[in-house]
Amino acid sequence: MEHRSSGTRIFLKPKGGLLFVVPSVERSMAERGARVFSCGYQNSTRFWFPCVDSYSELCRWKLEFTVDAAMVAISNGDLVETVYTHDMRKKTFHYMLPIPTAASNISLAIGPFEILVDPYMHEVTHFCLPQLLPLLKDTTSDLHKVF
């Protein structure tokens, strides 16, 4: 479904770009489990950031995402640093992706995620919504045995 307003197109059921999930309960965004994530359907990366959205155009990437202090931004590459604003209300996640990668392979998820570093494979990090942490621990407990 599409609505038009002032020359802007708003897709209510988009197939690509950024998808928003905002549960309708009376709490803060973090307490509601509000989140946003990218969906790379048919080269739709250009819908959420300016890029040459072609599999043949490879680039190294420096990605920065500024979010509310209660949220976590997850993306491709190595998390280099997280910097808080002076008032501690927001933070910026700095990612570096040194391997040439097509824009269509860049992804993003922002939400009030719990972070679980795998106890056996420290290079692997798992993320989930807070209420799902016990389930995440259970389902990933034997992951190291596969390797």
Please indicate, yes or no, whether residues 56 and 106 belong to a single structural domain of this protein. Answer: yes
Average pLDDT (65-79) is 96
pLDDT at 14 over 90: no
- CA distances (Å), 146 to each of 115, 120, 124, 125, in order? 21, 12, 13, 16
Please indicate, yes or no, whether residues 108 and 127 belong to a single structural domain of this protein. Answer: no
Please indicate, yes or no, whether residues 94 and 130 belong to a single structural domain of this protein. Answer: no
Range of the domain at 87: 2-112
Please indicate, yes or no, whether residues 142 and 71 belong to a single structural domain of this protein. Answer: no
141 forms beta bridges with none
Count of domains for the chain: 2
Task: Collapse the DSSP code of 147 into the 3-class scheme (helix H, G, I; strand E, B; otherwise coil) and give the result.
Answer: coil
Please indicate, yes or no, whether residues 100 and 136 belong to a single structural domain of this protein. Answer: no
Please indicate, yes or no, whether residues 55 and 104 belong to a single structural domain of this protein. Answer: yes
Please indicate, yes or no, whether residues 79 and 146 belong to a single structural domain of this protein. Answer: no
Q: Give pTM, 2 decimals.
A: 0.84
Please indicate, yes or no, whether residues 91 and 143 belong to a single structural domain of this protein. Answer: no
Write the CATH number for 26.
Answer: 2.60.40.1730
pLDDT at 106 over 60: yes
Of residues 5 and 14, more confidence is placed in 14
Mind listing the pLDDT tens digit for each residue in 23-70?
888 888 888 889 999 987 777 899 899 999 999 999 999 999 999 999
pLDDT score of 41: 73
Question: Nearest to residue 105, comparing CAs of 47, 60, 50, 45?
Answer: 45
Please indicate, yes or no, whether residues 19 and 88 belong to a single structural domain of this protein. Answer: yes
Question: Does residue 106 contact residue 45 with C-beta atoms inside 8 Å?
Answer: yes
pLDDT score of 27: 84
